[in-house]
Amino acid sequence: MPLLDECARHCPHCGEPIRLLVDLSGGTQSYIEDCAVCCQPILINLWVDADLEGYQLDLRREEDPL
């Protein structure tokens, strides 16, 4: 699996489709990225399999509970 992957998701604020460039080289991580459509901050939780076979993404608004 490549260390950079582009994926399509929907913004948790506006619901519009967005594309994210996911950097798998840092392993499991959480970070904030602004929506390209509505500019609201999105909390991104990334879980990377130890062998880099796959990953999972969870997109939330900052005020949403985990």
Name the phi and psi angles at 25, rounded to 5.
-70, -20
Within-domain flag for 29: yes
Domain count, the chain: 1
**Residue among 3, 23, 17, 10 nearest 59 (CA):** 10
Task: Give residue-wise pLDDT tens across range 42-55.
Answer: 999 999 987 767 89
Residue 10 falls within a domain, yes or no?
Answer: yes
DSSP string computed for 4-32: EEEEEEE-TTT--EEEEEEEGGG-SEEEE
Q: What is the pLDDT of residue 1?
A: 60
Q: Tell which wins on pLDDT, 3 or 46.
A: 46
In this model, does residue 40 exceed pLDDT 70? yes
Domain range for residue 26? 4-61
Whether 21 maps to a domain, the answer reads: yes
Q: pLDDT tens, 7-29?
A: 999 999 999 999 999 998 888 99
- The pLDDT score that the predictor gives to residue 17 is 98
Answer yes or no: is 66 within a domain. Answer: no
Which letter, b or e, does each residue of 40-54 get, where b requires 16 or more Cβ atoms within 10 Å of its Cβ?
eebbbebebeeeeee
